[in-house]
Amino acid sequence: MVTEQKRLDDIIRNFSQQPEELKDIYTEQLVVQLAHDIFRSHLEHQESVLKASRRRVDSTSVEYPFHRRVSGFTSSLRTSSAEALLPTSMDMTNRLRRPHQKPAILRKISAAQQLSASEVVTHLGQTVVLASGTLSVLLHCEAVGNPKPTISWAKNGEEVKYNDRMLLQPDDSLQILAPVEADVGFYACNASNALGSDSVSIAVTLAGKPLIKASRATVINTELSAVTVDIGSTVKTIQRANVTINCQVAGVPEAEVTWFKNKVKLSSAHHLHDGLLLIANVSLADQGLYSCKAANLRGEVTESSQLFLCLKPPRPLPQLEDFTAVLFSTGTRLPSVLTSPSGTKMAISPGSSALIGCAVDGHPTPNITWLYSGKPLSLRHHLLAAGRVLQIFNISDAPEGEFSCLAQNEAGSLIQNTSLTIQEYQWSVDKLMACSASCGHKGVQLPQLRCLLDGSEVNISHCKEKPKPSLQPIACNRRDCPSRWMVTSWSPCTRSCGGGIQTRRVTCQRLTAKGSSVPMSNEACVQVSKRPVDTQNCNKQPCVEWVASSWGQCNGPCIGPRLAVQHRQILCQTKDGTSVSSDQCSALPRPLSTQNCWTDICGVHWRVSLWTVCTATCGNYGFQSRRVDCVHIRTNKPVLEHYCSWRPRPANWQRCNITPCENMECRDTTRYCEKVKQLKLCQLTQFKSRCCGTCGKA
């Protein structure tokens, strides 16, 4: 009988944890285990019977891994007959052979086995406590799957580095020789194939303070509604997700686990179970530092995880608020477009600039990188609004391509695109002008030449560099015209003024589509319109002429030899002498109202006398003068000088004898020397030189 209820509970719990596809196999194992406990007294007899039965069922079975000799062990590991009946890994694979099967690690329900005082063998899911005399620890890991899983080992989340103490056995078991305190930790066996993976941990600890399985990973969750991490991880997640923090503890004596948030102990109201902390429907209030403390009689240890919320990957927005401000700041109406994940398009005129906006949000704020055709920008550009708006200059320099904005933050990335198409100016002849005639043989229509940009008409000067298309006239309205009155030009008026008569010829005709004119009866045209008049009055204005009065007195200043000015009055009058407005005579040549005339007072000229004797014979101070008078030519009598002002006035003085005096004998050069001597001015140099003779005698 199974005497320990706890042992039976452990067996059943381990059985319930096995994968569904392995439960049949483990049912057999469980029966054998129970039989082993119940019939221990008959173990040897039962072992021989079961072994014989085993050989009959499968003569090719492989020895269970426990029967292999382990390197470094002093004796072979012996198993009970009940365990010898357990199927091997190959047997399990044969029984469960399927086209595809993801890995599953076999969880053993037996406790760690002590082969000797210094050798320990255990399977996954257990805890190994190192004693002072432990020389070897063997950790078994068996897995099934198709294709055959690959086994790897990790310690505390990092790949195990094998050496002369840390050995990987041929059956994928991990052996630790001469374990030391540095070997304490959580060892995970990882089984993987193309269909998936499985992982189970085992704790190796000392008999002392507890050990916590910790991770130093950063977990970023942007999509899942639930995420599970090991204590020690940094968690960045979206709101309303369920976050489970696992605090796996090993230790002897058994440790008690306590949870804290921001160093404050969490109450039992939180979801705490077997070292797991569930933070359901997380919100901003749940952000903080979560700590797991494991304590026993030998000591305590604490590990913490930081939880951050509001992590939002970049997502598109329908509009960009900064766009309006940028458009206003540029001062001109530039073409603008927003990028989108599906791509947008905008047509622009050549040579113009354009604004491209990247409307995204996220937390943290995404970094924006602009690309052109998938590569960094090399075009002339300028970034505005913290990089969210791209201004491209002179688009005509760029080939047509796709502009992209790449938004990135910790939560993910988003790329949005837009395409710019350069619209060329082009001539259009798709419209026709109105027909030049409604009937007859001369009606034509010319195509209307227009300059278009993106289908809209613009100033024709934009297309001046484009070759104009040839315009071919198109015949229109080529049909017989209705009968109508035809008139000739008016004849000349019979009188130029005072009322006359002029006539013209009026006939009824019809113009055919061939261009010929066919005479019709007046009745045919009267039905269409009233007959035009063939006689009319003309030149009804009165007959007028310019009339001039007698010339006035010749007076005024002389403007030339013997010339003055005289005036007369010019009037516009009718034939009967009635004065009328000058406008009525504007068609006639107007007589002069002013003319030059001769007057006796203008017969004058300048008369000059002979020059006087020079005041000095040498030096720089000699001068001479003469008389200048305005005199009448006929009488030779002086008149006022202004009558001669129309001619230049001759000079009335000039310098003379401007020659050096050094080589000449000392003599007076002016007739005023006696006065110089009397006034005692000979001492002055300028007078002494000019009155050399007189001043020398003094």
More confident residue, 68 or 673: 673
Please choose, from the candidates 604, 601, 592, the residue with its C-alpha nearest in 3D space to the C-alpha of residue 552: 592
In this predicted structure, the answer to whether residue 592 has a pLDDT above a threshold of 70 is: yes
Strand partners, 307: 235, 288
Please choose, from the candidates 297, 65, 74, 79, the residue with its C-alpha nearest in 3D space to the C-alpha of residue 177: 74
Structure tokens that stand for 375 in this block: 């590569």
Which residue type is seen at 645?
A: S
Give residue 193's pLDDT: 92
Give residue 289's pLDDT: 95
Q: What percent of the chain has pLDDT over 70?
A: 79
Please report which confidence band the pLDDT of residue 331 belongs to, taking 50, 70 and 90 as the band edges: low
Query: How far, in Å, CA of 507 to CA of 528, rounded?
Result: 14
Find the range with the poorest average confidence among 388-392, 425-429, 502-506, 577-581: 425-429
Which residue type is seen at 442?
A: K
Q: What is the pTM of this model?
A: 0.38
Average pLDDT, the chain: 78
- pLDDT tens digit sequence for 208-234: 788 888 888 889 888 888 999 999 999
Give residue 606's pLDDT: 92
In this predicted structure, the answer to whether residue 566 has a pLDDT above a threshold of 80 is: yes
Q: Summarize the confidence of residues 275-280 as an average pLDDT.
A: 89
Please report which confidence band the pLDDT of residue 77 belongs to, taking 50, 70 and 90 as the band edges: very low
Give residue 562's pLDDT: 60
Domains of the chain, first to last: 5-207 (2.60.40.10), 218-310 (2.60.40.10), 313-422 (2.60.40.10), 426-465 (no CATH), 544-602 (no CATH), 604-655 (no CATH)
- pLDDT tens digit sequence for 396-414: 655 567 899 999 987 788 9
Give residue 49's pLDDT: 41
Please choose, from the candidates 282, 183, 182, 266, the residue with its C-alpha nearest in 3D space to the C-alpha of residue 226: 282
- pLDDT tens digit sequence for 638-691: 988 888 887 889 999 998 887 777 655 777 888 888 888 888 888 887 888 788
Strand ranges for 358-400 from DSSP E = 360-363, 367-372, 375-376, 381-384, 389-392
More confident residue, 697 or 73: 697
Q: What percent of the chain has pLDDT over 90?
A: 22
Query: How far, in Å, CA of 422 to CA of 417, rounded?
Result: 17
Across the beta sheet with 288-296, the strand order is 218-221, 234-237, 299-308, 288-296, 256-261, 264-265
Please report which confidence band the pLDDT of residue 99 belongs to, taking 50, 70 and 90 as the band edges: low
Query: How far, in Å, CA of 259 to CA of 247, rounded?
Result: 9
In this predicted structure, the answer to whether residue 376 has a pLDDT above a threshold of 50 is: yes
Strand ranges for 651-694 from DSSP E = 653-655
In this predicted structure, the answer to whether residue 70 has a pLDDT above a threshold of 50 is: no
- pLDDT tens digit sequence for 155-191: 888 899 999 999 999 999 999 998 888 888 888 999 9
Query: How far, in Å, CA of 497 to CA of 585, rounded?
Result: 12
Please report which confidence band the pLDDT of residue 37 belongs to, taking 50, 70 and 90 as the band edges: very low
In this predicted structure, the answer to whether residue 352 has a pLDDT above a threshold of 80 is: no
Q: Summarize the confidence of residues 540-558 as an average pLDDT.
A: 84
In this predicted structure, the answer to whether residue 480 has a pLDDT above a threshold of 80 is: yes
Would you say 482 and 527 are in contact if contact means Cβ atoms under 8 Å apart?
no
Give residue 651's pLDDT: 93
